[in-house]
A and B are shown apart, each in its own frame.
Chain A
């Protein structure tokens, strides 16, 4: 334990000469131990006195007073690199880090070539690198390296996160300093603090995946410094320095490199077919026995031939259709803004019956146990007998229900525009209720263990389906009306900040996020190892769902707010450009 003071040197009374005074408190009760500590301290002082390098602070004096020892050092105006990283919004420019990296290699090279014995710094990390007012680096804290004690539980040496594997075994060599420098650069380039990650996990956080602005050359150099086996790292700090200088040269020192474009196939994807409606398509299609059913703002429900996109029939309602059609026993159920639930024969497109609510129906219907469940802007959840079209019961909520009811284990789960969320039994009795801070427009998905939904209050919620206790909350960058999608152990959801997020179901830890250029209001669907999701930026994205890496995207002329449908290797998606597209998955 120790402190560093800013002090004024009174040997020079006429000028202000500032110095740094580093204090070490020696509180060891054992006199022998105490003596060793003092000896080590003096050794550090003597060591520093022999060093002359612009990146190493000068030592002026040292002394001990009772149980305290002091070093008087050159005062550095500036901040340490960790503070610089934390106080910067976004990423530090690569050229800045490159300059520091070259200087750090210089000073390490100087230490490693020290005579008679090489000096191993052992504690390279951002907080031990000071950046002075003119932007130059200074290596501080030549604290005596801690001796490794084996056989004692919990001994931790070096700074967790920056130390190489061999340092945990008590070895400290030049290669260890190179690893720690690599770790320091990785932290500076990615802003990911290695102390918050498992040790030696840099390979799991590729630099350019986190910060695509970094050049591939820089990434290669840092990766080599971070090699697990010391043999595979740079042989010396000067070799690493040379490699860094060569990138600086190649890029015409530090001229900003142009934005990189990855291997993205954005053109060249041709739809299998497209079909034009008379107005925007905001909803999601359904497929049944070779026919695709989709509603449009032009008030019609369309039936298309799924293979070729040929028109089969349309059924007119008196309002826009945003909900997803549902097919049950040869009939199609769809809600319309004309306040009705329409039931239409799938074969002929002729009406079977309709059911009136008191406000527009934007919630999609769900079927269970011979009943259709759906919400309406009239604030009621309606349960309607599937054959007779008669209401079995209705449940009054606090506000308009636009989410699709989710049915599991004889319970119906749904949220409403006031932010209230309900679990209602099949008999229409409320089992529990939860309240989010703002509207819950998104629908629920779930497993027996948890139900997931988002809210306009910027949160993805995981609740216990039995009692409504909150298991976890995940903060999204902005509001969300996108329904979560479950893929293995991931919960995938879009938000108005344009990101598609993948979060681990058990721990709520973010696994990846993918940026689109506008709000993501629809939901993702998984097909084989791909994820398909639309964005208001007009694109349909295909990502590898485990990593969030882009496979391809397909641009439409308008915003996509619905959810894609994938069936038999074909993706179907509607767009506000009035078209339905069929693409090869």
Chain B
């Protein structure tokens, strides 16, 4: 009988009394504990990049002026293992004509420029290393996008936050008030970009406090945007990919609406990155969805 039960229900039918009998076993040594912890550690030989994205027009607007892009590749072999990813969020400015045209042009132009630069090195056999630096390529891509927007939709503008991942390096190009942040498993959220908004600048200068900033009447005034001004000076920098951790790029339709700790919880508690994106978009919509929402999440695992 016992045998049949075990066959049917597997280990679950093991009687619980047995556990009580083992209460007095000798404690494990440090080495044994370490070995167990190590064997349970998620260790892969193959380091890989994974990503997901979410977007919504929100609850109060008819037009989606946000654009986003996520490209994730993994290439591995005897010559090494090189994760390559490109993640972009652009938030077209309302009140200006063609914000949606500007954000769309920004995302496509930047991605096209970068992929064209890397194509010969990543997808052809080249012995030489690339001469141009990541930061120079990002800067070239932003200038190109600026030119295209001024031609296609003069007077329009958009934010742009683009992250190029190559190996364990993230190179970010940033203009406006979309954000790139690192979310760590211990619950910390570190925003690595700086908003080019009037309210942020006043805060940096110490003229208003964080609480005053929350209710500042001109929260939405940007002093720098792609497509605007004759000279554009994007912020470009390179950081190590957070490991363990998550890279998040989002528009202010998410970060300006959902509290930081709720964003962290949504990311760290979700079973997958896809589900985390859905939850973040849902949270912004539940909070009223006043603006378009865009989010991209990426992790480097292994």
A residues contacting B by CB (< 8 A) are 1, 149-156, 160, 165, 168-169, 193, 195-196, 198-200, 228, 432-435, 448-450, 462, 464, 466-473, 504, 506-508
Contact = CB atoms under 8 A, between A and B. Distances in A.
A198 B224 CA distance: 9
B171 A471 contact: yes
A154 B221 contact: yes
A168 B129 contact: no
A472 B222 contact: no
Contact of B167 (A156, A160, A448, A467): A467
A472 B96 contact: no
Contacts of A193: 231
B82 A467 contact: yes
Interface in B185-221: 198, 201-202, 204-205, 207, 217-218, 220-221
Given A464-B166, A464-B168, A507-B235, 13 more contacts: A153-B93, A154-B220, A154-B222, A156-B222, A156-B225, A160-B223, A168-B221, A169-B218, A196-B233, A198-B223, A200-B201, A433-B129, A470-B134
Contact of A473 (B133, B198, B223): B133
A152 B94 contact: yes
Contacts of B220: 151-155
Contacts of A160: 223-224, 229
Contacts of A504: 237
B131 interface: yes
Nearest to B233: A196
Contacts of A169: 217-218
Contact of B134 (A153, A200, A472): A472
Contacts of A508: 135
Nearest to B192: A506
Nearest to B155: A1
B136 interface: yes
B85 to A, nearest CB: 14
Main secondary structure of the interface of B (DSSP, over half): loop
Interface of B: 80, 82, 93-96, 99, 128-136, 154, 157, 166-169, 171, 198, 201-202, 204-205, 207, 217-218, 220-225, 228-231, 233, 235-240
A269 B171 CA distance: 46
B253 to A, nearest CB: 11
19 contacts: A1-B154, A150-B217, A154-B225, A168-B198, A168-B218, A195-B229, A195-B230, A432-B129, A435-B129, A448-B240, A449-B169, A462-B238, A467-B80, A468-B129, A470-B129, A470-B130, A470-B132, A472-B135, A506-B239
B158 to A, nearest CB: 9
A446 to B, nearest CB: 13
B76 to A, nearest CB: 13
Nearest to B199: A168
B239 to A, nearest CB: 6
Contacts of A198: 201, 204, 223
Q: Which 6 A-B pairs have the closest CB atoms?
A: A152-B95, A154-B93, A470-B133, A507-B237, A153-B220, A472-B135
B237 A466 contact: no
B221 A199 contact: no
A502 B96 CA distance: 40
B246 to A, nearest CB: 19
A156 B228 contact: yes
A452 to B, nearest CB: 12
A156 to B, nearest CB: 6
A413 B236 CA distance: 27
Nearest to B252: A153
A464 B133 contact: no
A84 to B, nearest CB: 17
A154 B96 contact: yes
Nearest to B91: A153
Contacts of B238: 450, 462, 471-472, 506-507
A195 B236 CA distance: 17
Contacts of B207: 165, 228
Nearest to B132: A470
A199 B167 CA distance: 35
A149 B94 CA distance: 12
Contacts of A155: 95, 220-221
Contacts of A464: 166-169
A546 B145 CA distance: 35
Contacts of B224: 160
Given A149-B95, A199-B198, A464-B167, A471 B133 contact: yes
A154 B129 contact: no
